[in-house]
């Protein structure tokens, strides 16, 4: 047992020495050196926006350079003779990804981008028929999800106002209540074709009980899918065991694969060999044994790759593979264990600083560690955008959401306890210097 296991939040201290002690006992602390940090005023920033775009791992360059070299030296021959041949390059991601999302390797793959993949998966899993045409989602879902759902129901000839049922928060509350989600599903009942929710809410960081909600959706005969943009690489997932039908996530947030990069997706194995499942298809989804025979018939791969369309964008998935190598080495258990402690420490620092200044910080993320991941969303009552700008100028990268919420996500792989301490000091200075 080390100091990190023994310390409970009550015993935290808001001192540099204490933060350093925590770092010294943190087995993940050395991974900080595996990442490239931007600098402000010649100092490495305190980076809280891994929930938006993760930092670049140093090994990314090596993976990309390898592809560039193979391309320069082999051109088309690289498809088969590169160090990591391109024609099945994407298969290398399935094993490490499956561990991150709790799936079988055959259930996951990578392609395209998140919104595109959710649309493609809805071809298979949003199949409105008769009375069953409604989609349940959370109110104020990430805008791309809202546009996606609206355009999907319109595409099928429905009115979004009728076909999309939003789960509401109770007045004055920041988070959704599980009982309200389950009640909504039960009420919509046999009219519900699909439940599609963000597994971790992008604004508040609330984690949903995906297992229970998935079962509730299945109980009314609906498909259940998850947008895991803020969940993958952040919280422990068990997609296979939770019996989730489908899911997709982006790789550029907690998984550090680079701006706008490819998305991972999951299709439960029970759909893999379903002959009549509707799906948009392309040549990368057809059996690889016969793919290059260029036959007119589509023979689906016997796994999630049947949903693949195009040949893989190797220069995009190379950084994703580089990052997954780090995840594989560290493992989700260690990432989650550190996340719980560093987020608790950050919460403690905020409460300490709160006592020393006039403004009030209201953490709107659930306080229960099972209902939150790496992100704390904080209402800065009495503060405006100037504080956010002050933080940025002083080397603290956070993000600002209207009206005055900052989101702080101390990623386990590269944030330190000392970062949390220094953040508190800069925050205090920013408020007191007004
Ligand atoms: C919850 C959520 N869904 C969807 C998206 C859209 O992702 P993309 O632009 O990769 O399609 C994002 C992007 O940040 C997101 O946070």
Instruction: Name the residue of 50, 114, 399 to mutate for ligand 1: max ligand atoms within 8 A of Cβ.
Output: 114
Q: Which atom of ligand 1 has the smallest separation from the CA of 263?
A: 10
Q: Which atom of ligand 1 has the smallest separation from the CA of 253?
A: 14
DSSP codes of every residue in 290-354: TGGGT-SS--B-SSGGGG--SPP-HHHHHHHHHHHHHHHHH-HHHHHHHHHHHHHHHHHHHHHHH
Q: 409 pairs with which residues across the strands? A: 49
Number of residues in the chain = 434
- How far, in Å, is the centroid of ligand 1 from the Cα of 165? 20
Instruction: Name the residue of 197, 202, 313, 399 to mutate for ligand 1: max ligand atoms within 8 A of Cβ.
Output: 202
- How far, in Å, is the centroid of ligand 1 from the Cα of 229? 6
Q: CA-CA distance, 113 to 144, in Å (whole number)?
A: 12
Nearest to 54 by CA among 245, 260, 224: 260
* Shortest-distance Cα residue to atom 16 of ligand 1: 229
User: Could you list the pLDDT tens digit for every one of the 434 residues in the chain?
Assistant: 455 555 566 699 999 999 999 999 999 999 999 999 999 999 999 999 999 999 999 999 999 999 999 999 999 999 999 999 999 999 999 999 999 999 999 999 999 999 999 999 999 999 999 999 999 999 999 999 999 999 999 999 999 999 999 999 999 999 999 999 999 999 999 999 999 999 999 999 999 999 999 999 999 999 999 999 999 999 999 999 999 999 999 999 999 999 999 999 999 999 999 988 999 999 999 999 999 999 999 999 999 999 999 999 999 999 999 999 999 999 999 999 999 999 999 999 999 999 998 778 899 999 999 999 999 999 988 888 899 999 999 999 999 888 889 999 999 999 999 999 999 999 999 999 87
138 within ligand 1 shell (Cβ under 6 A): no
Q: Say if CB 53 and CB 253 are below 8 A apart.
A: yes
* Shortest-distance Cα residue to atom 7 of ligand 1: 114
Q: CA-CA distance, 215 to 225, in Å (whole number)?
A: 11
Q: Which helix (H) or strand (E) holds 152?
A: helix 143-155
272 within ligand 1 shell (Cβ under 6 A): no
- How far, in Å, is the centroid of ligand 1 from the Cα of 115? 6
* Shortest-distance Cα residue to atom 4 of ligand 1: 144
Q: What is the pTM of this model?
A: 0.96
User: CB burial class (10 A; 0-12, 13-18, 19+) of residue 243?
Assistant: middle
146 within ligand 1 shell (Cβ under 6 A): no
Domains and CATH numbers, the chain: 5-56+332-432 (3.90.1150.10), 85-251+263-312 (3.40.640.10)
Q: Which atom of ligand 1 has the smallest separation from the CA of 117?
A: 11
Q: Say if CB 352 and CB 14 are below 8 A apart.
A: yes
Q: Which residues of 381-407 are buried (b: 16+ CB within 10 A; e: fewer)?
A: eebeeebbebbeebbbbbbbeeebbbb
Residue 125 CB neighbours (<10 A): 22
């Amino acid at each position: 047992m080390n100091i990190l296991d023994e310390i409970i939040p009550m015993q935290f201290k808001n001192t540099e020495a204490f933060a350093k002690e925590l770092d010294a006992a943190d087995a993940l602390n050395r991974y900080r050196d595996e990442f490239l940090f931007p600098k402000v005023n010649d100092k490495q920033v305190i980076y809280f926006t891994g929930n938006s775009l993760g930092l670049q791992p140093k090994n990314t360059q090596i993976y990309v350079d390898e592809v560039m070299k193979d391309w320069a030296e082999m051109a088309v021959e690289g498809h088969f003779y590169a160090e990591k041949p391109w024609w099945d390059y994407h298969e290398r991601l399935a094993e490490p990804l499956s561990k991150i999302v709790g799936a079988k390797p055959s259930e996951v793959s990578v392609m395209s981008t998140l919104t595109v993949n959710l649309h493609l998966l809805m071809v298979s899993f949003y199949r409105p028929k008769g009375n069953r045409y409604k989609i349940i989602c959370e109110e104020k879902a990430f805008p791309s999800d809202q546009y996606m759902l609206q355009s999907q129901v319109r595409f099928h000839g429905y009115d979004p106002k009728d076909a999309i049922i939003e789960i509401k928060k109770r007045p004055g509350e920041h988070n959704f209540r599980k009982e309200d989600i389950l009640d909504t599903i039960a009420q919509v009942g046999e009219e519900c074709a699909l439940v599609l929710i963000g597994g971790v809410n992008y604004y508040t960081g609330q984690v949903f009980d995906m297992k229970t909600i998935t079962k509730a959706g299945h109980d009314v005969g609906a498909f259940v899918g998850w947008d895991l943009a803020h969940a993958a690489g952040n919280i422990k997932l068990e997609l296979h065991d939770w019996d989730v039908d489908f899911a997709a996530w982006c790789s550029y947030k907690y998984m550090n694969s680079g701006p706008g990069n490819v998305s991972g997706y999951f299709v439960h194995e029970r759909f893999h060999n379903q002959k009549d499942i509707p799906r948009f298809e392309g040549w990368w989804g057809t059996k690889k044994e016969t793919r290059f025979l260029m036959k007119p018939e589509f023979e689906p791969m016997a796994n999630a790759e049947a949903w693949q369309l195009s040949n893989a964008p190797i220069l995009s998935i190379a950084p994703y593979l580089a990052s997954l190598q780090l995840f594989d080495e560290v493992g989700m258990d260690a990432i989650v264990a550190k996340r719980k402690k560093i987020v608790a420490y950050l919460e403690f620092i905020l409460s300490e600083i709160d006592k020393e200044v006039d403004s009030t910080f209201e953490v709107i993320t659930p306080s229960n560690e099972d209902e939150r991941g790496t992100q704390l969303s904080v209402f800065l009552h009495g503060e405006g955008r100037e504080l956010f700008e002050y933080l940025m100028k002083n080397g603290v990268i956070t993000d600002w959401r209207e009206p005055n919420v900052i989101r702080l996500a101390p990623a386990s792989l590269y944030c330190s306890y000392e970062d949390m301490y220094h953040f508190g000091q800069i925050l205090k200075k920013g408020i007191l210097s007004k």
